Structure 1
Amino acid sequence: MKRLRYENHDLDRVDTMILEHLIADARTTVAELARRVRLSPPSVSERIRRLEEAGVIRGYTLDVDPVAIGLPLTVWIRIRPLPGALNRVAEILRAQPEIVECDRITGDDCYVARAHVADVVALEALIDRFADFASTNSSVVQSSPVVRRLPPVAVAER
């Protein structure tokens, strides 16, 4: 059996089609994927397994509306650790369940984090957890013209 080369991110047309269908609906069955890409279910299962093993597919997630679970306020928090506090700030970030994503960035701030909170009081409490170790600057999200999405999947030219 020919092994696909994922270490260089070389995906063929069928892999790309499988990924596009899973991106659209991660609950698509293997049988349905097989029908859509015109392969047998065992072949599709094997391709999915290889994509998972190679780290191309990192997982399958659930998308929950924060407003529906009582967290209507979404904020971006820019965080500038005090000298020597970079690692401590990272620990604090990881420990906050309200923070749903965080990136270490270049520029004046070291981190930018997205959080969902119930109200301004909860936001203040979250920001206060950093007070001894960093300065913060927060922005409330008014709307999201582009919601979180995956990058486009492209087939490598061979």
Structure 2
Amino acid sequence: MELDEVDWKLIGLLQEDGRLTFAELGRRVSLSAPATTERVRRLEQLGVIVGYRAVVDVRRLGLPIEAVVRVRVRSLDTPRFRERVVVLPQVLDADHVTGDDCWVLRVVCPSTGDLEAFVELAQKYGDTTTSRVFSSPVRNRAIGRETSCAVGEVPRS
């Protein structure tokens, strides 16, 4: 799939603000609103753009405790872990990974007691390691053409 510079600009703009109108997007990339609409629809049909969502501050929703919970699930328990833990609403992200751990979960809770209860549930399926999140200097970074650069390589303008 070949994306041109306009496609990349549209992707970047929509990652910054998914509520921009097609007219405003078009102004920013020097296209008409219909041409912009066609481009965005094509990116959606190709599966490059898979959705739009609001980004919320979980602390303002009464969920000030954030943690990364790594779980080494026993292989026979994987289906039950998926059905009983991964689906819980406090799980914001769940990554099935390689290495010592099987799962890396990012969770939010209203209190440390609730986090403790969550970890105890996860421990029914294997060993856990829990790390409280102090801050997140990088969160939901936009993907751009420069993302594919090798480490240390200077992105082309």
TM over 0.5: yes
Tell me, in whole angstroms, the C-alpha distance in 1 between the residues paired with 2:145 and 2:83: 33
- Stretches of structure 1 that go unaligned for 5 or more consecutive residues are 1-7
Matches of 1:32 and 1:115 in 2, distance apart?
36
Q: More helix by proportion, 1 or 2?
A: 2
- Paired residue for 1:145, among 130, 137, 140? 137
Matched, 1:82 2:74: yes
Whole-angstrom CA distance in 2 between matches of 1:130 and 1:144: 24
Which of residues 6, 27, 51 in structure 2 aligns to 1:59?
Answer: 51
Q: Distance in 2 between matches of 1:45 and 1:102?
A: 33
Conservation of the 8 A alpha-carbon contact between 2:8 and 2:144: no
Q: What's the C-alpha RMSD, in Å, of the aligned pairs?
A: 1.5
Q: Name the TM-score, length of structure 1 as normaliser.
A: 0.87
**Contact 1:89–1:134 (CA under 8 A) maintained in structure 2:** no
Kindly state the Cα deviation for residue 93 of structure 1 after the two structures are TM-superposed.
3.0
Q: Does 1:36 align with 2:28?
A: yes
- In the superposition, the TM-score normalised over structure 2's length comes to 0.87
In the alignment, does 2:96 pair up with 1:104?
Answer: yes
CA distance in 1, matches of 2:109, 2:93: 13
- 1:125 — aligned with what? 117
**How many pairs align?**
147
After superposing on structure 2, the runs of 4+ consecutive aligned residues of structure 1 that deviate more than 6 Å are none
Q: CA deviation at 1:149?
A: 1.4
Q: CA deviation at 1:124?
A: 1.1
Contact 2:26 / 2:32 at 8 angstroms: preserved in 1? yes
1:32-72 deviation digits (Å, cap 9, x = unpaired) = 11111111111110111110011100101110101000000
CA distance in 1, matches of 2:28, 2:75: 55
- Greater shift after overlay, 132-141 or 58-67? 132-141
Contact 1:20 1:153 (C-alpha < 8 Å) held by counterparts: no
Contact 1:19 1:153 in 2 (8 A): no
Structure 2 match to 1:49: 41
What SS is found at the alignment partner of 2:131? strand
